[in-house]
Amino acid sequence: MAQVEKRGGLLRKSSASKKPLKEKVVLMYDEIFMTEDPSKCSPRFWEELFLMKVNLEYLEGKLESLDGEELMKIKDNINCLFQHCIKALGEEHPIRVVNALQTLCALIRGVHQKNKSSSGFDIINMLMGFDKAELCMKNLMESLDSLLCAEGSESLKSLCLKLLLCLVTVTDNISQNTILEYVMINSIFEAILQILSHPPSRREHGYDAVVLLALLVNYRKYESVNPYIVKLSIVDDEATLNGMGLVIAQALSEYNRQYKDKEEEHQSGFFSALTNMVGSMFIADAHEKISVQTNEAILLALYEAVHLNRNFITVLAQSHPEMGLVTTPVSPAPTTPATPLGTTPPSSDVISSVELPLDADVQTSNLLITFLKYSSIVMQDTKDEHRLHSGKLCLIILTCIAEDQYANAFLHDDNMNFRVNLHRMPMRHRKKAADKNLPCRPLVCAVLDLMVEFIVTHMMKEFPMDLYVRCIQVVHKLLCYQKKCRVRLHYTWRELWSALINLLKFLMSNETVLLAKHNIFTLALMIVNLFNMFITYGDTFLPTPSSYDELYYEIIRMHQSFDNLYSMVLRLSTNAGQWKEAASKVTHALVNIRAIINHFNPKIESYAAVNHISQLSEEQVLEVVRANYDTLTLKLQDGLDQYERYSEQHKEAAFFKELVRSISTNVRRNLAFHTLSQEVLLKEFSTIS
């Protein structure tokens, strides 16, 4: 018997010369694409259509193949199909509902694809007609809300979320998607919260729900009152906020785990053997090849939660077992294509990892630790545009955290100590730190470590000025809290001081190249003022008097760098060039650092001469410093412990518009409607009582 093949909606016998036969659903689609009403000749047309397995490819392809004029001729039939899809969502038969959901996805995508250059109003008219649009969308959103909140099929809920994601991301710029006005009026916010607060639903659909919410929050957020922003900002239900935090933590954990696996694979492979032979000269190049796609969608969700909802700050510190434990899934999970921005959710076994029996060696973690580890990976390589955006968003999130009083309280809490294993970029001049030697410290130490790591590893030709400014701002805000609350943090401050001085040296040695692109004096002023903060208020927050002595020792030891900086800014501030004002601010800010150098250097030289010592030890220099504090005169500088609070709308609107456009494009590109085969659905629905 001849084999029957099926391609693009056609059925044919492979050995026969007869015309190909079309499957019934394709014939029905063809009737819809005629100008006549298909139900005239066949009264049961619409009932039968939703019992047929949807052919997404054919339906979308057919819509795309028509030109604008042809499409307008069949507008009434498309309106009719759209309305019957919505009507079918209320049917008891789940197969009808599934087919209606998939048909709606194909319709929305197909019509939008055709009308990319047209306005949203044309698309609304094409899909449902202006006169019926409001009622259609009201019924659609109510049906989706009911399906998401019902205790029914998880597959149906999954398709509902996919349809909503399709609706939201169908245009690159979601704020130009006028259909979303109806999604604002007929809110599904509570349905999303219900998914996040209910563990079984969260495990199945939490990822899609969180990404959907993050996108909806960004619809015309600067132009009008967005109800999703208002509602998200006042959520105070602990289970819901924790559920959202868990989804974000698990997605970031999955990224961290994938990166670690790649790193281990890389180290044990051929390249590792090669670098062992020739030394570490290629280590940086080798590291660049370790690449796991960043997850900007989930990072945006974390940002919106931290930025909009004060109650979410508590979730950052909520302890849970270290994630990334992967077990064999109980049932095979549908697969989705890999995505450039990590828009595919982690597998269901990772989502449920928090309920798994834990290994005795696995330490307690929390969302903040997971986020810091994620940040330490994506901030390593900022040459790639997506990683640059991710790195910037990580620093914006850290800025919001560093400004929050409650977040600072748990960051600096001596009773909340963690061992945070941040990823460090391999560099020729330093050895890889052993993970087991990491001490348990307050979480703020890990944040400072991350900032120091960034400062040390990004002094390069393509200088990421914006990221450096944000990095220094995070450090400054943490110091302001420590000064205000007199928190004496036991931290290796010398590493920070050394990193800041090396950054100043880099700015000076690359003055000409950098000034062609950046105002380096803004950054130089911020660095100098960090030192001024330590000089002026260090006695209130440095852990011991000897720490304050060490600060002076570092300034005196590196006096040549500060002298060179002073010479540079003095030269530029006395010229009538474009940098005159910016450079003169740095000149004034250096007054106390220069006073320290000019006060102590002669005394150190005198001590060396009297004692016939050519080179003084650190302890001898410190002895001179301690003996001569009394005669040192410093100027009181105002505003060192003040800062401008973060404001998205005024400073970051352009960045977020571009970021959301990028996320929207990738979510749309990777939406998988084929993950549920008809066989799987039939099997599931046959067991529903």
pLDDT over 50 (residue 120): no
Look-up of token digits 């060192």 = 640
Quickly state the pLDDT bin for 650 (edges 50, 70, 90). Answer: confident
Tokens in use for 636? Answer: 């009181």
Quickly state the pLDDT bin for 327 (edges 50, 70, 90). Answer: very low
CA distance 175 to 661: 9
Which tens digit of pLDDT belongs to each residue from 281-306?
333 444 444 667 788 999 999 999 99
Which tens digit of pLDDT belongs to each residue from 232-257?
999 999 999 999 999 999 999 999 99
pLDDT over 90 (residue 57): no
For the chain, give every domain's residue range: 24-222+658-688, 492-647
CA distance 90 to 146: 9
Contact 231, 322 (CB under 8 A): no
pTM: 0.88
Mean pLDDT, the chain, integer: 85
Tokens in use for 329? Answer: 């899934």
Burial class of residue 183 in the structure, from the number of CB atoms within 10 Å of its CB (0-12 exposed, 13-18 middle, 19+ buried): buried
pLDDT over 50 (residue 4): no
Residues 6+ apart with CB under 8 A from 216: 168, 180, 183, 189, 226, 228
Q: Residue 441 belongs to what H/E stretch?
A: strand 441-442
CA distance 504 to 501: 5
pLDDT over 90 (residue 351): no
Contact 553, 544 (CB under 8 A): no
Which tens digit of pLDDT belongs to each residue from 471-511?
999 999 999 999 999 999 999 999 999 999 999 999 999 99
Quickly state the pLDDT bin for 621 (edges 50, 70, 90). Answer: very high
Confidence (pLDDT) at 278? 47
Confidence (pLDDT) at 334? 35
Lowest-pLDDT range, 167-176, 187-196, 639-648, 677-686? Answer: 677-686
CA distance 60 to 58: 6
Displacement of CA 223 from its chain's centroid (Å): 23
Lowest-pLDDT range, 209-213, 509-513, 678-682? Answer: 678-682
Could you tell me the CA-to-CA distances from 495 to 151, 164, 193, 203, 300 in Å, in that order? Answer: 55, 49, 44, 42, 31
CA distance 81 to 103: 9
Which tens digit of pLDDT belongs to each residue from 135-155?
999 999 999 999 999 887 888
Q: Report the percent of the chain where pLDDT is more than 90.
A: 61
CA distance 29 to 111: 15
Task: Count the alpha carbons within 13 Å of 676 in the hemisphere toward its beta carbon.
Answer: 23
CA distance 145 to 188: 6
